[in-house]
Structures are given as structure tokens and as C-alpha cells.
A and B are shown apart, each in its own frame.
Chain A
Amino acid sequence: MTLATEMMNWSLYAAFVIVAIAQIMAMIRLWIGPSTGDRILALDTMFINAIGLIVLLGIAQGVQIYFEAALIIAMLGFVSTVAYARFVLRGDIIE
């Protein structure tokens, strides 16, 4: 049991570090993105990576209450991506 728990802890640490690195890489693309579509895509990727970080925090602490925060962030991420895209496409969000 101890080796399996050790492996799960190490892969949890690796997942935390690499998802944080992925978040930083998406932020670099948000900073340097040459076009508007790249910036919207970088924000969408950052939302998805934030969901991943919250799920990893729930696994690490062994609690279930972070599920609702992850669900709300998923919904807000989709709505904000569609709102940005519609604002660029139509000049208005709700017509």
C-alpha cells in the first residue's frame, strides 16, 4: 500500500507542477498573441487549466466540495468565451 500511495502522491505533485507550467504558457500566449482569436483561445485554455487545478486540489485534500467550484468555472469559461467571440464577430453580445 505504501508504494502505491507514494506513486499517487508523486504523480499528484507532478500534475500540480505541470498544470501550473501549462497555465504560465497559456499566459505567455495571452501576452504575445498576435491576433484576437489567439488571446480568446489562451483565455479559454486558462479556464480549462484552472478547472484542472481545482480538481487536483480536491484529489490532494480528499474532499468533494471543490466539485461545485469546478463546475461553476467550467460554465463561466464557456459563457465568457462565447461572449468574447460574439463581441468580436458582431460588435454586440446580446442583440
Chain B
Amino acid sequence: MTIEILATYTIALLLLIGTIFTLVAAIGLLKLNDPMTRLHAPTKAGTVGIGAFLMASILQSYTFGEGSFHELLIMAFLFVTAPVSANFMAKVSLHRGACALPPPTPQDETWSTLNHFDHDGEVEEVARDDKPNPV
């Protein structure tokens, strides 16, 4: 009997945690003033809020029913796909020019993937003011 009371209090606590995270995500989505910061709010906090709701659902099914772990599937799927979709939305914001573009890549000889190559394979010299002195 006591374990049921404890589980019920825990369900209430998890529901409140999920509610707070979901509300913070929605307020961040509505109130922040840059597309990248707006992207930051709901993709993290909203996912954690849904995770708390799903934990409450698992605990409720074990307390009042026969119990099942099926909600872990939704949780795993959401936690895997949320960064992927956030990355796609960031690429959309970059593509449409809705946010500040990333700085140009540094022309550094120690990172060969950052260099621009001509067609004849020579390193293209790009005139930059902030080019570091060769050591």
C-alpha cells in the first residue's frame, strides 16, 4: 500500500516536471528574438518534457495496471530524432539567410580540409587580414 502512495506521488512529480519543461519550451519558442535561439528552446526542453511524461506513463502503468515498457520506444525515437530534425531546421535557417552566417574558414596549413584548392592542386592563397604568421 505504501509503495503505491510513493509511486503516485512520483507520478505527480514527473507530470509537474514535464509540464514545467514544456511550458519553458513554448515560452522560449514564442519570446526569443533570433531564429537560432528559437531553435534552441523547444528542441531540447520540449523533448525532456515529453520524456518526463512518458516516465510518468510507465510508472502509472506499473502501479495501476499490469505494466509495460512500450513508452521507452517513443522516448528512444524522440531522443534520437530530435537532434537530426534540429540540424535540418538550422540548415534551413542558414540556407534562407535568416540568421548570421558562420565565419569564413581559417586558411591554416595544419588543417588540410579547410584549405581551398585550385584545379591544378595548388593551395589557393586567399588575401585575408587576420592570417596568422607562419611559425
Contacts and interface: CB of A to CB of B under 8 A. Distances in A.
A74 B65 contact: no
B74 A64 contact: no
B91 to A, nearest CB: 6
B14 to A, nearest CB: 9
- Interface range for A: 35 or more
A11 to B, nearest CB: 4
A21 B12 contact: no
Interface size class of B (residues with CB under 8 A): 35 or more
A30 B98 CA distance: 16
B9 A81 contact: no
Contact of A81 (B22, B53, B88): B88
B8 A85 contact: no
Interface in A4-40: 4-5, 7-8, 10-12, 14-15, 18-19, 21-23, 25-26, 28-29, 34-38, 40
Given A1-B4, A59-B57, A81-B89, A15 B29 contact: no
Given A1-B1, A4-B12, A52 B74 contact: no
B50 A55 contact: yes
Contact of B77 (A36, A52, A64, A71): A71
Interface of B: 1, 4-5, 8-9, 11-13, 15-16, 18-19, 22-23, 25-27, 29-30, 35, 38-39, 42-43, 46-47, 49-50, 53-54, 56-57, 60-61, 64-65, 68, 70-71, 73-74, 77-78, 81, 84-85, 88-93, 95-96, 98
Given A8-B8, A74-B77, A81-B85, 19 more contacts: A4-B5, A15-B16, A22-B26, A25-B27, A36-B92, A40-B89, A45-B42, A52-B49, A55-B53, A58-B57, A59-B57, A64-B61, A67-B68, A67-B74, A70-B74, A71-B73, A78-B77, A88-B92, A89-B91
